Every structure is written in structure tokens, then in C-alpha cells.
């Protein structure tokens, strides 16, 4: 279908300008995949504590007495996988939001998801001493869900369809409103709670078990199924809503699916690692420079590269000041801040 | 109490600038001999409020901070805000002749100075500074003998705790003062300096993070496994958890089943009110910690399976 019309111009194939042919792009996607696999494989070998490899995989030693294997399998491997899940999800959600809003500066947090998630987490950290197991993660997911519903309701209220302009304005306003509520909650909390809350906002991937990853996985996987379906509609929408509609895309449905899937995936990622910044904007832009603008290439490449990127940032965060740990959000921000500025200047 | 954890948190924000470990209480720079007797005291520092009551000056306390809850008599006193939100108008409306402030409350101190109100500056520091502060404060308010009586009692009780643990092995202990409820995430532990570390050492423990020259640090799973604490002492005085909840929260540590403390069931959550207050009840707090370290504490995890233990998956 997409090959119909003049084969020489990407526009005529329903592709955004600057799209690379699949034939040339796929090897680059494979390269990003290899980068992710290498990162997941290498990260458990890096850390603040020296471990003996011979012991890690030794079967003769009881696991309970094998400190090296414990560090490898309990502390580092879940952490690398959490970084992969969060990094890949945020990067892919960034691609979807940039496509949905047709704005290169959109991030997974633009529409208030992270502010909602943060508010949920803050409320439980401050008032939720009585809450039971899984408190902060589930509360942040609930907060994200609340933000998604409010933004969606606002975007629908005065418009028959789903207006991306209203969506953007509602999201930005809700971000500010939730931020004010977060400040209010922090004012009511004591200093230790405030400190822990600030620390949570900086991002932390030390999950210490596979349980938090498994808890977030169903939501993330469901979102990625939708992402895969969205690649082609997003390509067409990037040419303009009318052009997409004329080619048979139900624009409103695609926008709605993009909004909900990317928002919920972001909420799940934030519930695992906190609102780690900049991954959702740096990675898609870097990847687009590599594989072009075809979402069928950008989405998988961003997912794999985002995973590798966050694993690498976390490896730096946990080793650079050992035995102290730097919050991973500081590393991503130190890289992402200047990159974001460069992006702004470059667009002029 | 809440505010002490606050201080620990603030100290952690100040991170590497850890001069805090060597600070001592400092009275305001006013000539002592010229001061009239103190009749109306406002205290913004809960630990100092406790000190005042302990040295029989409770009747002179007319205003306390919003975090004061001990002794029960403070509930009848006026509330004047706390570290970050002191209510200057309410303080002067109480016509105090001594205001006890944190030394870091620079703006408040400047305003009190302009109002010519006498100040006693409090600085949070180590265990020995509790006694120093009490003696300085006692001299300042004309109750030196009461202060001496109390500090002698505290020191005697601390000596008794030290004697009870002398000659025993000092188990490698992680002193946890913050953790996400229901999960092993966001774990904050005492480093090798400050009040909490001093209490742990006095209680007969050896701090597994004693080499970290900060008051607090965040302990990752890797750090905990590598340091392998034999005892985990968690201080949670604020949550008012039920016994059932305390057992649940203790069991949360089974997610790291290979820590020696978890394997031998030596994870203790202490919830007593006085645990984090560097005031006159500090010796009781140290005794509670010592009892837990000696294995006579109230709550402990059911020992995990011994022998080969669970595998990685």
C-alpha cells in the first residue's frame, strides 16, 4: 500500500520527509538492538563492588553464601533490566508524543503524566504510612492515570474530536497545577519526607528484585502492541491530519490510541524508576538522525537505544561516586540539558 | 521525632559539607552575668523543650514548635512554627525573655536581634553534644545544678548500657532511618558521623557504613549485600504501626534473603517515640537499640531457610 504512487518521493508513499528506505534503515535498527543486548549483558559486571566472575556462575557454592552471585543476580541484573524497561519505554513514548502532537519538543512528560505520577507518589510518601505493600509504585501509577483522564476529558470537552492544541494546553496547565499540589504536599511533610520525595523525583532504578519489573510489564507490553500498530498512522499524520484522513486513517482514533498507550506506558515506567528526565527527548532525536523519520524504524530503534542509553547512564550513576550513588536523573539531565538547548538553537 | 529525621535529611542535602559532625551548642554572644532570670522561654527545638522540662524549667516554657509532642504538657503551650516556618509575630506576642532557635535560622535570628530578644542558638551534632547543650542551657537559664543532675543521670545510664555490652562481639549493624513502606526501596542509613552513628556505637553495634563520612546515605541493594550487615535496626517512630504491620514490614526484608541479618532473623524495627530525639531521653533510646542488638528486641523477622538458601530466581 505504502509503495503506491510515485516510488521516488517519500511523501507519496505516505512517509514523512526525511524517511529512510526500510532496506537501509533495518540494519541500523538491528545495530540499536545489539547495543541494548550488549548493555544488558555488560551492566551486571559493572558496579561499586568488585565481584569474582568465577564465583558468580559457580554451581558448587550455595547461593546463600555466594556474595558475588547475590550482587550479580539480586542487585545488578534486575537493575539493568529495570533500566532497559524504563529507558526503552520512555524513548518510545517520546516518539509517540512527538508524532501525536507534531511537536519535536514534546516529551513523555509534556501532558502531565509524570506530574500526576509524582503527586500520587508524594501523597503516599507523606500521608500513606498506613498504606500496604507496593504503595508508592501503585500510587504513582494511579496518579498518572488520573492525569491522563483529566487531560483527555479537557481535550474532548470543547471539541468534537481530539484537539492536539487543547491537549497540549491542558497538559501543560495540568503539569503546573499538579506541581503546585506537589509543593503543597511537600509543605505539609516533614524534612525527611521532603528529602525522600526529592530523591524519588531524581529517579532511582535500584529495584532490588524482579517484582517491580514484572508488575509494570503487562501495561508496557500492551502499549507496545499499540505502538507497533501506530507506526503507519503516525507516518501519515505527520503529513497533516487531512492528508492522513484522505488516505483512510481514522485520525481521531489513532490520536486517542497514541495518547492513551503512550501515557499509560509512561506511567508504568515512572512507577518503576521515578520521573527520569530527558530520555524521552534525547533518544528519539538522536535516533532520527540515524534512521530518518519513518516511525516504523524510529520506534524500534528508539526503544532499543533508549534501553541501552539508560543502562549506561545508570552504570555511571552507581559507580562514579561509589559507595555513594548519584541519582540517575542527574546523569540524564546533565547530558540532556545541553542537548535540549542545542536542539532549540538548531531549529532557528 | 519527625524534625530530627528532618535534620538528618537536611544534612544529607548538604551532603559532602559535613562539618556538622563537630558542631557544638553555642549560646548567643551576650554577656552571661548581666542577664536577668529567665521567666518566659519560647523553644523552636523539640529536643531542647524536653531538656527544659527535664531540668524543671517546664513552667517557664510559654511557646513550643509545631513538632513538639513531649512531654504531654507541651500540648497546652502556644505553637510558634518550626525550622522553616517560624511565626515571628506569635513569638514576640508571647513576650519571651529567651528564644531557643536553630543556629541555621539566620533570618529569624536577625529579626529577633532587631527586636532585642535574647537568643539561644541550638546546633544539631553528636551524642556528647546533648550533654554539652544541656549544661550550657542550664547555666544560661540559671538552672546549672538541675542541668548537672540530668546530664550526670544520662551519662550514668549511657555508661551502664556500654558496660552491659562490653566484652560482647560488636555485630556489624545497618541503622536504617528511612525506607519506602512495603518495599526495599529508598533505603536511607546512618553513615559514620553524627548522632545516630554515636547512638549505634554506644549501643554496642559496629556501623557497617562507618567508613562513610556523612550523616546519611542511600543504601542500594548492592551496597547492602556487599556490606552484609549481621543486624538491621530500623527506626520508625513516626508511623505508629500496629504489631501486625511491624511484622509485615520486618518481613519485607526477606526480599534480600541472603543478608546475614535476614538469614538469622536479626531485623528489628523499633518504633518508640524517643529514638530520634537528641534530648534527655537519649539514654533510654540507646538502651532500646542495645537490647535489639543483643537479641532481646520485640520484633524480628522469621529466620529465612538456612543451608543452601534460595536461588537467584
What is the predicted pLDDT for the residue at B7? 43
Which residues of A fall within a CB distance of 8 Å from B240?
Answer: 129
What is the predicted pLDDT for the residue at B308? 35
Closest CA to A261 of A228, A303, A295: A228
Q: How far apart are CA A113 and CA A108, in angstroms?
A: 7
Interface confidence, given as ipTM, is 0.80
**B48 shares its domain with B105:** yes
The average confidence (pLDDT) of chain B is: 83
What is the predicted pLDDT for the residue at B25? 47
A44, A81, A138, A195: best to mutate for the B interface, most B CBs within 10 A:
A195
* Tens digit of each residue's pLDDT (9 = 90 or more) over B35-58: 567 899 999 999 999 999 999 999
Region B215-222 average pLDDT: 91
Region B150-172 average pLDDT: 94
Q: How far apart are CA B129 and CA B295, in angstroms?
A: 29
Cβ contact (<8 Å) for B241 and A125?
no
CATH domain A20-44+66-347 topology: ABC transporter involved in vitamin B12 uptake, BtuC (1.10.3470)
What is the predicted pLDDT for the residue at A6? 44
Which residues of B fall within a CB distance of 8 Å from A75?
Answer: 220-222, 225
What is the predicted pLDDT for the residue at A159? 64
Number of structural domains (chain B) is: 2
Cβ contact (<8 Å) for B258 and A63?
yes
Domain closes at, from B130, B161, B192 = B161
- Does a structural domain hold residue B303? no
* Tens digit of each residue's pLDDT (9 = 90 or more) over B199-215: 999 999 999 999 999 99
pTM: 0.82
Region B15-24 average pLDDT: 36
- Does a structural domain hold residue B60? yes
Residues (pLDDT < 50) of chain A are 1-8, 133
With H, G, I as helix, E, B as strand and everything else as coil, classify residue B301.
coil
Confidence of residue B306 (pLDDT cuts 50, 70, 90): very low
What is the predicted pLDDT for the residue at B301? 40
Cβ neighbors of A273 (< 8 A, separation 6 or more) are A82, A83, A86, A203, A204, A205, A328
Q: How far apart are CA A271 and CA A113, in angstroms?
A: 11
Confidence of residue B255 (pLDDT cuts 50, 70, 90): confident
List the Cα angle B253/B256/B258 in 5-degree steps: 120
Cβ–Cβ < 8 Å for B209, B217:
yes
Domain ranges of chain A: 20-44+66-347
Confidence of residue B1 (pLDDT cuts 50, 70, 90): very low
- Closest CB to B226 among A69, A71, A212: A71
Instruction: Please give the residue range of the domain that contains residue B132.
Output: 10-161
What is the predicted pLDDT for the residue at A263? 94
Cβ–Cβ < 8 Å for A301, A236:
no
- Does a structural domain hold residue B311? no
**B93 shares its domain with B145:** yes
- Closest CB to A132 among B182, B184, B222: B182
- Does a structural domain hold residue B308? no
Instruction: Compare all CA atoms of chain A with the CA of B186 and give the residue at the minimum distance.
Output: A196
DSSP string, A124-176: HHHH-TT--TTHHHHHHHHHHHHHHHHHHHHHHHT-SS--HHHHHHHHHHHHH
Cell 553555642 locates to B26
Cβ contact (<8 Å) for B308 and A206?
no
Confidence of residue B228 (pLDDT cuts 50, 70, 90): very high
Q: How far apart are CA B309 and CA A70, in angstroms?
A: 11
What is the predicted pLDDT for the residue at B312? 38
**CATH label of the domain that carries residue B212:** 3.40.50.1980
Q: How far apart are CA A144 and CA B139, in angstroms?
A: 56
Region B257-276 average pLDDT: 89
Position B16 pLDDT exceeds 60: no
Amino acid at each position: 500500500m505504502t509503495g503506491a504512487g510515485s516510488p521516488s518521493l517519500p511523501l507519496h508513499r505516505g512517509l514523512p520527509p526525511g524517511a529512510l528506505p526500510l532496506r537501509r534503515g533495518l540494519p541500523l535498527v538491528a545495530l540499536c538492538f545489539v547495543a541494548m543486548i550488549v548493555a544488558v549483558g555488560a551492566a551486571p559486571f559493572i558496579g561499586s563492588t568488585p565481584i569474582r566472575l568465577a564465583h558468580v556462575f559457580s554451581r558448587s557454592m550455595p547461593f546463600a553464601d555466594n556474595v558475588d552471585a547475590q550482587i550479580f543476580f539480586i542487585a545488578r541484573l534486575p537493575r539493568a533490566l529495570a533500566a532497559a524497561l524504563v529507558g526503552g519505554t520512555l524513548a518510545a513514548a517520546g516518539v509517540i508524543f512527538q508524532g501525536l502532537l507534531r511537536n519535536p519538543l514534546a516529551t513523555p512528560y509534556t501532558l502531565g503524566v509524570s506530574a500526576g505520577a509524582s503527586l500520587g507518589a508524594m501523597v503516599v510518601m507523606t500521608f500513606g504510612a498506613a498504606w500496604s505493600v507496593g504503595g508508592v509504585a501503585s500510587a504513582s501509577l494511579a496518579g498518572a492515570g488520573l492525569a491522563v483522564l483529566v487531560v483527555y476529558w479537557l481535550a474532548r470537552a470543547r471539541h468534537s474530536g481530539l484537539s492536539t492544541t487543547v491537549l497540549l494546553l491542558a497538559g501543560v496547565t495540568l503539569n503546573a497545577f499538579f506541581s503546585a499540589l506537589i509543593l503543597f504536599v511537600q509543605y505539609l511533610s516533614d524534612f525527611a519526607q521532603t528529602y525522600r520525595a526529592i530523591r524519588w523525583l531524581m529517579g532511582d532504578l535500584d529495584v532490588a528484585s524482579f517484582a517491580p519489573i514484572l508488575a509494570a510489564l503487562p501495561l508496557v507490553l500492551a502499549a507496545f502492541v499499540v505502538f507497533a500498530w501506530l507506526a503507519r498512522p503516525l507516518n501519515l499524520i505527520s503529513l497533516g491530519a487531512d492528508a492522513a484522513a484522505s488516505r483512510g486513517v481514522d485520525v481521531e482514533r489513532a490520536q486517542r490510541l497514541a495518547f492513551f498507550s503512550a501515557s499509560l506506558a509512561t506511567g508504568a515506567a515512572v512507577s518503576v524508576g521515578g520521573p527520569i528526565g530527558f530520555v524521552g527527548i534525547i533518544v528519539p532525536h538522536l535516533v532520527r538522525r540515524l534512521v530518518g523519520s519513518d516511525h516504523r524504524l524510529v520506534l524500534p530503534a528508539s526503544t532499543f537505544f533508549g534501553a541501552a542509553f539508560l543502562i549506561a547512564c545508570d552504570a555511571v550513576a552507581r559507580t562514579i561516586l561509589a559507595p555513594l550513588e548519584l541519582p540517575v536523573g542527574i546523569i540524564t539531565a546533565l547530558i540532556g540539558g545541553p542537548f535540549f538547548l542545542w536542539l532549540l538553537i538548531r531549529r532557528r | 521525632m519527625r524534625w530530627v529525621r528532618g535534620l538528618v535529611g537536611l544534612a544529607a542535602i548538604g551532603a559532602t559539607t559535613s562539618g556538622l559532625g563537630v558542631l557544638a551548642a553555642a549560646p548567643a554572644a551576650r554577656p552571661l552575668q548581666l542577664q536577668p532570670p529567665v521567666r518566659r522561654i519560647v523553644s523552636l527545638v523539640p529536643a531542647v523543650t524536653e531538656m527544659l522540662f527535664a531540668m524543671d524549667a517546664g513552667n517557664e516554657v510559654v511557646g513550643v514548635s509545631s513538632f513538639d509532642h513531649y512531654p504531654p504538657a507541651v500540648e497546652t503551650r502556644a505553637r510558634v512554627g518550626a525550622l522553616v516556618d517560624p511565626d515571628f509575630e506569635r513569638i514576640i506576642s508571647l513576650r519571651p525573655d529567651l528564644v531557643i532557635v536553630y543556629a541555621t535560622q539566620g533570618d529569624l535570628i536577625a529579626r529577633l536581634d532587631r527586636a532585642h530578644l535574647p537568643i539561644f542558638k541550638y546546633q544539631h551534632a553528636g551524642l556528647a553534644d546533648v550533654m554539652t547543650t544541656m549544661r550550657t542551657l542550664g547555666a544560661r537559664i540559671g538552672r546549672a545544678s538541675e542541668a548537672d543532675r540530668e546530664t550526670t543521670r544520662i551519662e550514668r545510664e549511657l555508661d551502664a548500657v556500654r558496660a552491659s555490652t562490653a566484652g560482647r562481639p560488636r555485630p556489624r549493624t545497618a541503622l536504617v532511618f528511612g525506607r519506602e513502606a512495603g518495599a526495599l526501596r529508598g533505603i536511607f542509613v546512618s553513615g559514620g558521623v553524627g548522632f545516630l552513628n554515636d547512638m549505634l556505637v554506644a549501643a554496642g553495634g559496629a556501623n557497617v557504613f562507618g567508613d562513610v563520612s556523612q550523616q546519611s546515605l542511600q543504601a542500594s541493594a548492592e551496597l547492602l549485600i556487599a556490606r552484609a550487615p549481621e543486624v538491621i535496626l530500623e527506626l520508625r517512630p513516626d508511623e505508629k504501626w500496629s504489631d501486625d504491620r511491624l511484622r509485615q514490614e520486618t518481613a519485607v526484608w526477606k526480599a534480600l534473603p541472603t543478608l546475614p541479618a535476614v538469614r538469622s532473623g536479626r531485623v528489628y524495627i523499633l518504633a518508640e517515640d524517643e529514638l530520634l530525639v537528641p534530648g534527655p531521653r537519649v539514654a533510654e533510646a540507646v538502651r532500646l537499640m542495645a537490647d535489639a542488638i543483643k537479641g532481646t528486641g520485640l520484633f524480628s523477622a522469621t529466620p529465612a531457610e538456612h543451608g543452601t538458601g534460595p536461588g537467584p530466581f
